[in-house]
Amino acid sequence: MLNIGLLGCGRIGAVHAASIRRQAQARVAAVADAVPAAAEALAESAGATVMDSDALINSPDVDAVVIGTPTDTHFDLIHGAAAAGKAIFCEKPIDMSADRIRDCSRAVQAARVPFMTAFNRRFDPSFANLQARLAAGEIGQTEIVTILSRDPSPPPLQYIKSSGGIFRDMMIHDLDMARFLLGEEPIQVFAVGSALVDADIGAAGDVDTAAVTLTTASGKICQISNSRRATYGYDQRIEVHGSGGMLRAANVHENTVEAATGSGFQTAPAKHFFLERYERAYAREMAHFIDAVSHGTQPSPGIEDGLRAQVLADAATLSWQEGVPVQVT
């Protein structure tokens, strides 16, 4: 039985607690949150003990920690948990600064603790299936990756002001997906962006509509486009063109009903909210972490993947600001 300590009892903490409950070989042993009521509510439903975060990290009753606290607290928690020898599951982004992620990486490597970066989309059944078939050579060599990703609606302006911008808080998922699918590191990033959804987002120094082009050393190309708003649900599509064919993953719809009338044939909107769209991805992600830690293997994606996605997001931000392609090493 793997005893897990949950750091952060907000929305994403609750998601992870539910995922842990589905696994027979793990349980939520302890929870911590800056808001006592949040910790207590989750503790009660999970049958866990409330602790403060330091105590939790160092508790002998905790084998692994799940970090779902605000980004600026990750650095200290990672260092603390690594020092205490706990396995670590950390929400993305690991940190706003690539250098500080490198620092965390050194601490994790020195402590030889398992570390997993929570890029949940890699565990979506369709995206995972696509990637596995790609890796198995089903369509030969990868040539062009296309990622279309649109959120249903923008987050609160307050969130945007401290999020690091669209490339770091939203597109970072797509940048990780690009790495996952390209099978090769991007060496150049070119980004454009506009505030078309909400002028206030532009006034806050960010964009809500963005497009990036990545290229790799061998000439593979990836195009990503993002919008902070889609009226028809949470639009999440990926497509890989290869030497032997094409693989793509379509949207997940609310149901399979089709209505035919004089206006044509209509199917349901895409699932609207990330929690329902990626429900199975969250469950499979946590299952993988628990399984890896239980078997003493390294979970994936690791801290290096968290770092590289952040480096790409930084490069995209710079490219957008400067108007030129940015090289990544």
33 three-class SS: coil
**Nearer CB in complex with its own copies: 2/82:** 2
Q: How far is the CB of 54 from its own copies (least distance, A)?
A: 32
CB neighbours (10 Å) of residue 181? 24
Q: Cβ-count burial of 70 within 10 angstroms (0-12 exposed, 13-18 middle, 19+ buried)?
A: exposed
Taking CB under 8 A as the criterion, the residue among 3, 73, 215, 294 binding its own copies is 215
217 three-class SS: coil
Interface mask toward its own copies for 19-38; x: CB under 8 A: --------------------
Whole-angstrom distance, CA of residue 225 vs CA of residue 9: 32
Q: How far is the CB of 295 from its own copies (least distance, A)?
A: 23
Site for its own copies in 238-267 (CB under 8 A): 239, 241, 243-267
Taking CB under 8 A as the criterion, the residue among 34, 41, 204, 221 binding its own copies is 221
CB 184 within 8 A of CB 104: no
Q: How far is the CB of 138 from its own copies (least distance, A)?
A: 7
Total residues contacting its own copies by CB under 8 A comes to 70
**Nearer CB in complex with its own copies: 156/262:** 262
Pairing of strands 142-150, 235-242: antiparallel
Pairing of strands 64-67, 87-90: parallel
Q: How far is the CB of 198 from its own copies (least distance, A)?
A: 11
219 three-class SS: coil
Whole-angstrom distance, CA of residue 80 vs CA of residue 73: 11
Site for its own copies in 175-194 (CB under 8 A): 188, 190, 192, 194
**Nearer CB in complex with its own copies: 55/204:** 204
Interface mask toward its own copies for 268-297; x: CB under 8 A: xxx---------------------------
Q: Rule CB under 8 A: is residue 85 a binding residue for its own copies?
A: no
Q: 134: part of which helix (H) or strand (E)?
A: helix 125-135
Interface mask toward its own copies for 144-173; x: CB under 8 A: x-x-x-x-----------------------
Q: Could you tell me which of 283, 321, 268, 303 has the C-alpha nearest to residue 91?
A: 303
Q: How far is the CB of 240 from its own copies (least distance, A)?
A: 10
Stretch that binds its own copies, among 31-39, 87-95, 102-110, 204-212 (CB under 8 A): 204-212
How would you label 39-66 residue by residue, b for 16+ Cβ within 10 Å and e otherwise?
A: bebbbeebebbbbebeebbbbeebbbbb
Whole-angstrom distance, CA of residue 160 vs CA of residue 201: 8
Site residues, its own copies (CB under 8 A): 125-126, 129-130, 133, 138-139, 141, 143-144, 146, 148, 150, 188, 190, 192, 194-197, 209-211, 213, 215, 218-221, 223, 225, 227, 229-232, 235, 239, 241, 243-270, 323-325
